[in-house]
Structure 1
Amino acid sequence: MIIDLFAGPGGLDLAARQLGVPSIGIEYDPDACDTRRAAGLATVEGDVRAYGPADFPDADVLAGGPPCQTFTVAGSGAGRRALDTVLGLAKRRAAREDVAAELAGIGDERTGLVLEPLRWALEAADAERPYRAIILEQVPQVPQVLPVWELYVDLLRAEGYKAACGVVRAEEYGAPQTRRRAVLLARRDGLVGMPARTHRPWGRTLSDAEYGLRPTVVMGDALPGRGGFTVISNYGTGGDPKKRGRRHNSEPAATVTGRINRNRLVADDGRELPRLTPAEAGALQGFPADYPWSGRDPWQQIGNAVPVPLGVACLTAALGVTAARIAPAA
């Protein structure tokens, strides 16, 4: 069973369901918990810091995507400024030092949450019930997040794991968007590497080998009822029309964020179209069209979610399961 920390609305848990692997998620946001429960996903509503491996003795796989706001350009920047502190605290935590006071003094408490999966992994190891696999993901801004995962790789190897980390692109695993994520995978019972790509990358010339991959999934595939359209985004433009991002439905979406509901949609004949619904935005993250988005702000839930196809790829690589076990989405 997978214990999923910072589980959000259920992207990784849906991937686990497709693979026939049971999971339970811990999530702090009550709206995301409402969505999860409506989708029939096992959920603990609470703070991951209040729990540990002993509370979930049946879980043998650890997963998590700690909050990333302080590690992003759009966030406060606390994660970037605190990087050296975070790395130092990770090493001390691996040495079994109590670093709770220092974590509390970092400032934005979300920054320290990136060390929670390490606490869980170490506590499980010390109880002589180590997780057989670990799957972690975060935003890939360098030099903020990837160095944390790189240090995790070293620390987990010292605990008996084979581990690897890197940056992956969601469209290369069948998601209809060009989202990049920093991923860490670890196993105790075999070698592990980044998930094997299944779909062609977008936006560059393909190598001969890449032509053998499946075609990129585009927005038109995920939203067939919309016809031809262009998404126009003001995100990150500062209001400058020349900087507005544009993606046609024959392309994958740009990274889906919690502001996707602000994007304009314009039909190929120039008509202004209704903006994306939560169901459509969720589809760009690989969620089923009938997924029961609930709560006050489904957009933020959708933007924070793990794309379901990427979750399937990461779980497949980390757990050593085969594609034959993958069932259709519920």
Structure 2
Amino acid sequence: MTSTAPHQSVLDEPFVLDLFAGPGGLDVAGRALGIPSLGIEWDKSACLTRYAAGLDTLHADVSAVRRDAFESLPPEINVLAGGPPCQTYSVAGKGAGRKALSEVKDYIKRLMAEEQIDKDLEKLSDPRTAMVLEPLRYAIQATRSPNRENRPYDVIVLEQVPAVAALWEHYAEVLKETGLPDGTKYEVVVDVLNTETYGVPQTRSRAVLIARRAGLGQPSLPEATHRAYDPKEWNRRQAEARQPTLYDAAVPESEARTEDGLLPWRSMGETLAPHGRRTPFLVRSNYGSSGIPGRRGVRTDRQPATTVTGRISRFVVFEHFHESTVVYEGPRFSMDEAGMLQSFPPGYPWSGTARAQQVGNAVPPLFGAHLLSAALGLPAPDPDVMGEPWRPTTEEQRAKLRNHGCGDAYECTARCPRPQDQAPVRSSETKKTK
């Protein structure tokens, strides 16, 4: 379902609480739309990136904030958003995935019946299974918060890998039919969307849930603005071109415009060339997108990138095409370039360690802006605004943000998650899903 109604925001003053906020993809989206946000993130390096970017942040465990500090959250927050870690569901459709999904459905049922489940959750072999319950637990907690006068969240926006769609469908069923324990119900839409159809220069599929509190109207999915990338069609066009070189076989994107007004998908070269990346180039990746084999392998700069992951620094870039198929290895993508392929603004201040992982784990900001716009009934975001260079924060601002997020202007404190807790649990099962 896509929106056809006139744009009119369902909220006068939206304010987003971003759970599992990462380095700031959804917060960057909110800033471009003029929507304030507060992110909760437990990874120190991601928080350092957020502080450097000037994003309001709590360096904390999402579960701990819900248990111990919920009343300290700004009461005006009315939009709940996030993408809980769902690696335990990445094998959905197989035995382990079905078992995990069945397990979490049972916990959701018990939560709605107001049963205490924390002791049982502590026994789970992989704590990330419990994390997927947090958005629902926050929604319930909001209705019991004196600081909020027991007001429920008006809008909920969730996104994760496609395998989580079955879980979002169960969330939708509960929010629509059962409702929260206080009786609040939501209108909900769930689907799997492709980020390149929203102008993100990479093929990346995401399962999304958009919910509005009953009485605020039926939510809609964001309308696509760009054409979907079809690897079979691309290969067919290359074959028909019958050009002598690998690169020249690519048909110009301008020939790919559709009659329905959709723009061509945005390419890597279109995104990176204005910022100094030499074209033409090829990128070789051993990582596919959402398990679709046709999206693997080698792509030219006239195509969107494959899914940007924590392996982006390993992608090999070849350049210097001439009249043969001989190519030369060029510089690999910088973190700034990798961020731009995720639709982050140029100059975004990636900080700390594991920067490639931060980039790969982030919500593409342009996609996030489309989700928030659809959820709130706002016009589609302006991609030109999203692409403007990021304005660096001052040292004074950064210190102020870190003092709020960590309790000290220059370092973490005892209230921050312990460094030894930063790495996720790794089991033989989770290794197989990567």
Q: Say whether 1:55 aligns with 2:72.
A: yes
Could you report, residue by residue, the CA deviation over 1:237-273 in whole angstroms, capped at 9, with x for unpaired residues? xxxxxx9611111110111110111111111520101
Could you report, residue by residue, the CA deviation over 1:176-224 in whole angstroms, capped at 9, with x for unpaired residues? 0010000000012111022111111110669997641122111111111
Which 10-residue stretch deviates more, 87-96 or 251-260?
Answer: 87-96
Look up the equivalent residue of 1:155 and give its one-letter code: V
2:272 to 220, 223, 230: 223
Look up the equivalent residue of 2:71 and give its one-letter code: A
2:337 to 280, 296, 301: 280
2:117 to 99, 107, 117: 99
- Match of 1:118, SS state, is helix
Inter-CA distance 268–93: structure 2 relative to 1 (3 Å threshold): farther
Match of residue 311 from structure 1: 368
Task: Summarize the alignment of residues 289-304 of structure 1 with structure 2, pairs less than 5 Å apart.
Answer: 289-304=346-361
Can you give the 5+ residue segments of structure 2 that lack an aligned partner in the other structure? 1-14, 235-255, 289-294, 322-326, 391-434
Q: Say whether 1:202 aligns with 2:221.
A: no
Q: Say whether 1:246 aligns with 2:298.
A: yes
The Cα of 1:286 is off from its aligned counterpart by: 0.3
Match of residue 205 from structure 2: 180
2:196 touches 2:204 (CA, 8 Å); kept in 1? yes
| CA radius of gyration, larger in | 2
- Match of 2:133, SS state, is helix
For residues 88 and 196 of structure 2, the distance between their equivalents in structure 1, rounded to whole angstroms, comes to: 25
Q: Say whether 1:114 aligns with 2:132.
A: yes
Task: Summarize the alignment of residues 52-201 of structure 1 with structure 2, pairs less than 5 Å apart.
Answer: 52=66, 53-56=70-73, 57-72=75-90, 81-127=99-145, 128-141=150-163, 145-157=164-176, 158=179, 159-188=184-213, 189-201=216-228
The Cα of 1:71 is off from its aligned counterpart by: 2.6
The Cα of 1:19 is off from its aligned counterpart by: 0.5
Look up the equivalent residue of 1:25 and give its one-letter code: G
- Match of 2:348, SS state, is coil
For residues 118 and 186 of structure 2, the distance between their equivalents in structure 1, rounded to whole angstroms, comes to: 25
For residues 208 and 308 of structure 1, the distance between their equivalents in structure 2, rounded to whole angstroms, comes to: 24
Which 10-residue stretch deviates more, 173-182 or 185-194?
Answer: 185-194
Which 10-residue stretch deviates more, 90-99 or 30-39?
Answer: 90-99
2:53 touches 2:349 (CA, 8 Å); kept in 1? yes
1:200 touches 1:210 (CA, 8 Å); kept in 2? no
For residues 45 and 208 of structure 1, the distance between their equivalents in structure 2, rounded to whole angstroms, comes to: 45
2:58 to 24, 39, 44: 44
2:81 touches 2:158 (CA, 8 Å); kept in 1? yes
Look up the equivalent residue of 1:139 and give its one-letter code: V
- Match of 1:135, SS state, is strand
For residues 54 and 154 of structure 1, the distance between their equivalents in structure 2, rounded to whole angstroms, comes to: 28
What's the % identity of the aligned pairs? 49
Match of residue 45 from structure 2: 31
The Cα of 1:148 is off from its aligned counterpart by: 1.1
1:185 touches 1:194 (CA, 8 Å); kept in 2? yes
The Cα of 1:58 is off from its aligned counterpart by: 2.1
Which 10-residue stretch deviates more, 274-283 or 100-109?
Answer: 100-109
Inter-CA distance 124–327: structure 2 relative to 1 (3 Å threshold): farther
Look up the equivalent residue of 2:83 and give its one-letter code: G
Inter-CA distance 79–45: structure 2 relative to 1 (3 Å threshold): farther
Can you give the 5+ residue segments of structure 1 that lack an aligned partner in the other structure? 237-242
Q: Say whether 1:259 aligns with 2:311.
A: yes
Inter-CA distance 274–81: structure 2 relative to 1 (3 Å threshold): farther
- Match of 2:81, SS state, is strand
Look up the equivalent residue of 1:202 and give its one-letter code: Y
Aligned length: 319
Look up the equivalent residue of 1:55 and give its one-letter code: S
Could you report, residue by residue, the CA deviation over 1:86-126 in whole angstroms, capped at 9, with x for unpaired residues? 11111111221111122222211012101100000111134
Q: Say whether 1:322 aligns with 2:379.
A: yes
- Match of 1:275, SS state, is coil
Inter-CA distance 289–136: structure 2 relative to 1 (3 Å threshold): same
For residues 304 and 324 of structure 1, the distance between their equivalents in structure 2, rounded to whole angstroms, comes to: 22
Inter-CA distance 244–198: structure 2 relative to 1 (3 Å threshold): closer
- Match of 1:194, SS state, is coil
2:282 touches 2:317 (CA, 8 Å); kept in 1? yes
Inter-CA distance 111–13: structure 2 relative to 1 (3 Å threshold): same
Inter-CA distance 51–79: structure 2 relative to 1 (3 Å threshold): farther
TM-score (norm 2): 0.69
- Match of 1:31, SS state, is helix
Look up the equivalent residue of 2:305 and give its one-letter code: A
- Match of 1:201, SS state, is coil
Match of residue 240 from structure 1: none
Look up the equivalent residue of 1:179 and give its one-letter code: R
For residues 382 and 142 of structure 2, the distance between their equivalents in structure 1, rounded to whole angstroms, comes to: 28
- Match of 1:226, SS state, is coil
- Match of 1:328, SS state, is helix
